[in-house]
Amino acid sequence: MNNEAVETMRILLGGRNCPKSLAECAVAYLARCRELPTAEEVVSALRVSNGMAEKIVASARMSFMFLLDTMPIKVGNPGLVAAYLSDLKNARTEHVVVLTVASDNTLIKRHECAAGSASRASVDPGAVYQLAIADGARSVIIAHNHPSGSARFSDGDYEFTEQLIESGRIVGIRLLDSIVISNRGVVSMRAEKPEMFVL
């Protein structure tokens, strides 16, 4: 992530009184927007006060072209991925999102692969890697939400991730992480079971 953008955001949000993590999440959130968000959308996505949301929107308005269109998004940190996908936190149905990633760990593109019921969405591993190949990606991150609010992986999540890892080995594209997002938090399978992701 662009440290200068984060430090600038931190100054705009209150200087030393603003946690760096909040500034990072604000920058990551703005980086995925393709139009100016409303204060209400920022409150919902980042769980901040109305006053803080208005400051974030004002900073985006002042630097819309730089922050929203040209800054590379680093996706190596599950927390930043969660901020980037914050619109999934409160979705009422399950969504599966694939992030295609360049060799320098920056986002190439976000793809929504499936939307399902309140408890299930399915996607074929081959479809995931077709997207990656089309984008010229070196790796991918898979993420999905749990509308139930559960911040734990299901048995099906582990099984699907293992299938993705194996398919990725065949085509030469790494699965960097499998992430679950809910309104109770974010969990990273790589952090929980790093041995699964060893080449």
* Residue-wise pLDDT tens digits, 56-108: 988 877 765 444 344 456 676 677 777 778 778 778 888 899 999 998 888 88
95 and 145 Cβ atoms separated by less than 8 Å = yes
pTM higher than 0.75: no
pLDDT in tens, 114-134: 765 444 456 888 999 999 999
CA–CA dist 25, 157 (Å, integer): 26
Q: Are residues 63 and 84 in the same domain?
A: no
Same domain, 181 and 126: yes
- 47 shares its domain with 127: no
109 and 46, same domain (yes or no): no
What residue numbers bound the domain in which 187 lies?
Answer: 78-197
Report residue 137's pLDDT band, with 50, 70 and 90 as the boundaries: very high
CATH number of the domain that residue 117 is part of:
3.40.140.10
Count of CA atoms in the C-beta half-sphere (13 A) of 184: 8
